[in-house]
A and B are shown apart, each in its own frame.
Chain A
Amino acid sequence: MLLRTAWRRAAAAVPVSPGPNSTAPTRGLRLRVVDHATQSDVPSATATAPQAESELRPLYMDVQATTPLDPRVLDAMIPYLVNYYGNPHSRTHAYGWESEAAMEHARQQVASLIGADPREIIFTSGATESNNIAIKELESAIQPDTSLVSVMTVNNEIGVKQPIAEIGRICSSRKVYFHTDAAQAVGKIPLDVNDMKVDLMSISGHKIYGPKGVGAIYIRRRPRVRVEALQSGGGQERGMRSGTVPTPLVVGLGAACEVAQQEMEYDHKRISKLAERLTQKIMKSLPDVVMNGDPEHHYPGCINLSFAYVEGESLLMALKDVALSSGSACTSASLEPSYVLRAIGTDEDLAHSSIRFGIGRFTTEEEVDYTVEKCIHHVKRLREMSPLWEMVQDGIDLKSIKWTQH
């Protein structure tokens, strides 16, 4: 098969790159150098067992930060990276036509997932760019009293589902534009832009097992929502987002959306079961654990737990075999407690001890059990070391203590 031969040649030419041997501990990621000698250059279709796994890496439990590519997505993308490399805006030859066809097919796949018309989907570089386009709309409003409501569909820190349909109804009755950042929700819970009366929606590729660097914005046509372009140039994407559309990336986004539509129910059921397993096991074995976020309106794949009397950063460092996060990845460099937790009224000390567990399509029961076991072990160990915990065990009410200044 022509494709397989070409790919095999390409694979033989690319050297396997070793992971960075970092001296400073990057959170959750310690790679051992891969042994090149054992890597075979020619992949054999008749290999019996997987190659000796010479590289150990942490378990991945941080799907809210990003997700791995689904194999079906990569399979859809590869032809457009290797063979069908035309510019989709070239009008004069087959390379352009086939690339354009793929782009429009991907547009249809994205639209179908959210109940939209393909003409209402504009490809962007990600949900952040989509958010910026949507919010800039506010500045190009015609009437002085027109405004915009912007709400996250599913929160990325605590997994809470916002009442989008209700908000949509209110906005449409008041003639106010409604934008939602659906990066964490698309493909995971059913969305329909018409049922929810959404005017603008941001979509991110790498949150739904698609490639990084691509996203989309949904812009309603009836009634027309006018947006101002962030970047100007050759007028691509109906003038709303100039720049050559990256065909392999949008093909990946489209494939990810189609796979998500097919797998939504199965994934949701399985992730709910695993989430239940994780929380039940932890809560059964450890006292003073709080789940942040409304348990009723909650997406199961994002579990945010606060472990009282344990500092979140130290727990993350202790769980070095599991890739986890405490709160938002975007603000991970700072040690400020999460604004989301503060907003829902979490106590300052509980906000500092929160960990976010992400369960996704590829998470296994084994990984959940391992994570739970390590988490329980380290929380117990850290609490043993904590003088606050000791005081609580002795029956002292921490809130009654007057801490003296030295």
Chain B
Amino acid sequence: MAASSRAQVLDLYRAMLRESKHFSAYNYRTYAVRRIRDAFRENKNVKDPVEIQALVNKAKRDLGIIRRQNAVKIAPTQRPRGIPPQSVRN
């Protein structure tokens, strides 16, 4: 299997950010968006295709986790008092 291209990595990045915004809990939502951005930024200069593929695979697994956890909506949504809604900066 050929190593993931730049376009595929960017698609994955966008998909992860999109899914993360569905977290109903403020703390999970902000953490996911922040962590994904920082992780992709930190690894942007990795050149080794084997390492890139390992990182991509891990990201795909994490995307699966985010999707499954967003399906768990049995807990009431919550927002910290005093923090306005839609406060995740793009």
Contacts and interface: CB of A to CB of B under 8 A. Distances in A.
Contacts of B74: 10-11, 14, 16
B66 interface: yes
B22 interface: yes
A19 B77 CA distance: 12
Interface residues of A, number: 43
A363 to B, nearest CB: 8
B69 interface: yes
B41 to A, nearest CB: 12
A45 interface: yes
Interface residues of B, number: 36
B87 interface: yes
A50 B81 CA distance: 16
Contacts of A40: 73
Given A16-B76, A39-B76, A50 B24 contact: yes
B79 interface: yes
Given A50-B24, A72-B65, A364-B30, A55 B71 contact: no
Contact of B72 (A7, A39, A51): A7
Contacts of B78: 53, 55-57
Contact of B73 (A11, A59, A75, A374): A11
Nearest to B58: A262
Interface string A57-76: 11110000000100110110
A59 B29 contact: no
A195 B49 CA distance: 36
Given A71-B69, A362-B31, A50 B22 contact: yes
B75 to A, nearest CB: 8
A55 B69 contact: no
Contacts of A60: 27, 80
B70 A59 contact: no
B77 A11 contact: no
B70 A45 contact: yes
Contacts of A50: 21-24, 29, 77
B76 A55 contact: yes
Contacts of B80: 56-60, 321, 367, 370
Interface of A: 3-4, 7-8, 10-11, 14, 16, 19, 34, 39-40, 43, 45, 47, 49-60, 68, 71-72, 74-75, 78, 266, 321, 361-364, 366-367, 370, 374
21 contacts: A4-B68, A7-B71, A11-B71, A11-B73, A11-B74, A16-B75, A45-B71, A47-B22, A54-B76, A55-B77, A55-B79, A59-B80, A71-B32, A71-B69, A74-B69, A78-B68, A266-B35, A266-B38, A364-B30, A367-B80, A370-B80
Interface of B: 21-24, 26-32, 35, 38, 62, 65-83, 85-87
